[in-house]
Amino acid sequence: MKRRLVVFAVVMAVLAVPVAALSHGPLDTAKVSSSTSATTTEPGTSDNLELVGHSSLRARGMNAAPAIYKNFLYVGSRTDGSAGHENAGVLVVNIDNPRHPRVVGEIGPPLEGTPSQTSRELRVWPEKKLLIVMNFRCSTLIHACAPGDDVWDFKFYDLSGSNARHPKLIATYESSFKPHEMFLWDDPEQPGRALLYISVPHNSESPDDDTPNLLVTDISRARRGVFQEVATFTANPLYTPEDIETRDVALHSMSVSVDGTRTYLAYLGGGFLILDSSEVAAGSQDPRFKLLTPVTNSPAWPNQTVHTAVKVFGRDLVVTTDEIYGDLLDDFAFEDHGCPWGWAHVIDIADEANPELVGEYKIEENTDAYCEGPSGQDPANTYFTSYAAHNPTVLRRLGITTWHSGGLQVFDLADPTAPRQTGFFSPEPLEDVDTEDPALSQGLNKAVVWSYPIIRNGLVYVVDVRNGLYVFRYTGPGRSEVDRIDFLEGNSTLGDAARLER
């Protein structure tokens, strides 16, 4: 086995997550306009994001994804329930008064918050009154988890009536492949039908390996404990042996168009790809995906590791993010982490076979000037810290993106070739938390704004890994677009998604 693959196998055993990749392919960035925020990130500062409410989430640290059902918000954990990790289950938060969100309960052991297991991803399917919690074995190195059983599953909880405050487990689904992220597609044509698109990242040892990277499961009969795996896909056999050897070719996450006919792939070092998923959406017998973007036609840029790809509603544009950790991972991955980390890119998809990089948005910490300065050269600021774009929720005009230690960033996409900052928030860190994130919050900057922003009744809800839940009102340019939202999140087609796409 080749040296890189041996190293990668060791890293994956320790990390249990995909690892960032180096850039690849011919780079055509000379004509791409780059917009950068004006100043470095200072904790406790903001512009055009008014803080409405905050909960420390019991100051437990290691918070993960949120999901909302009516007046309750549920928050998973990035770490496990081993010794020393208090309240490591799924927290239940009452948000009836968004100015004063209150933790009112927890789904704890033996269902959640158990040793070696993280409740990393959450989603609510409101039509069926279901909370979906993705659990998987977490890393000893970057999640502070205890070694344990190799369990990966989805738990489905009933939220009807009083169960909204005390979720009741009704079904468990163990997928055929190990999950990492999920996207909930709610069928706009057939009430009661929903598909869970699940990334199952797999790095091939050769192009002959056709192990799936994407799994689609019909969860329409979840209340009866019936889960039908309807389709899989991988692009790995289409890459060259050199690609497989030198790039982190694996699917990290995906998003799906409202009508279900397109799926947008964030393929880490493999770039950005588009699938025709019409047969899957239609419920065809033995549905197949059709790759619309040849892998050689993916746009390429420096520091590329495509973490997330979300379409801009009503426009032929996609916003991608590149999540890159600090220098901590250099010793394990033999890849270039740390400064300048990763940022947001804007891709024109009018020609789906030839998507074109047209713009990018950075913060100051993503610039060469910062990396060459004292802060960018300080290991205390670069080793255990990430100033990388993470999860975006995108409207027609605005991108709202969590940015780890860069806080929450809002940027205007009116001119996609020159996105510009219209708002930001950097939290004032809590004095102390039960569990620091070993890879993200042990540096100088203790903010780790992480989750997909959820917009509910015109307010923006985000989770900081370390510092808890924040509720904002956006007051900057284009604010009416946010004010009109009843519900929107970047990892489902629920709520206002269909209206915005029209």
Domain extent listing, the chain? 3-501
pLDDT for 16 equals 42
pLDDT at 450 over 90: yes
pLDDT at 25 over 50: no
pLDDT for 12 equals 40
From the number of C-beta atoms within 10 Å of its C-beta (0-12, 13-18, 19+), residue 26 rates as exposed
pLDDT at 152 over 60: yes
pLDDT at 333 over 80: no
Spatial separation of the C-alpha atoms in residues 356 and 11, rounded to whole Å: 33
pLDDT at 26 over 50: no
Mean pLDDT computed over 83-105: 97
310 and 344 Cβ atoms separated by less than 8 Å: no
Q: How far from 67 is each of 134, 218, 456, CA to CA, in Å?
A: 12, 20, 11
What DSSP assignment string belongs to 267-323? EETT-EEEEE-HHHHHT-SS---EE-S-GGGS---TT--EEEEEEPTTSSEEEEEE-
pLDDT for 216 equals 99
Neighbours of 157 (CB within 10 A): 25
| pLDDT tens, residue by residue, 464-478 | 999 999 999 999 999
109 and 85 Cβ atoms separated by less than 8 Å: no
> CATH homologous superfamily of domain 3-501?
YVTN repeat-like/Quinoprotein amine dehydrogenase (2.130.10.10)
pLDDT band at residue 329 using 50, 70 and 90 as cut-offs: confident
Predicted TM-score (pTM) of this structure:
0.93
Mean pLDDT computed over 246-250: 92
pLDDT band at residue 19 using 50, 70 and 90 as cut-offs: very low
Mean pLDDT computed over 93-103: 99
pLDDT at 153 over 90: yes
Please, which residues have CB within 8 angstroms of residue 242's CB and are 6 or more apart in sequence?
A: none
Spatial separation of the C-alpha atoms in residues 117 and 107, rounded to whole Å: 13
Mean pLDDT computed over 194-199: 99
Spatial separation of the C-alpha atoms in residues 65 and 200, rounded to whole Å: 18
pLDDT for 41 equals 81
pLDDT for 141 equals 87
Mean pLDDT computed over 347-366: 98
Both tokens assigned to 92: 């239940």
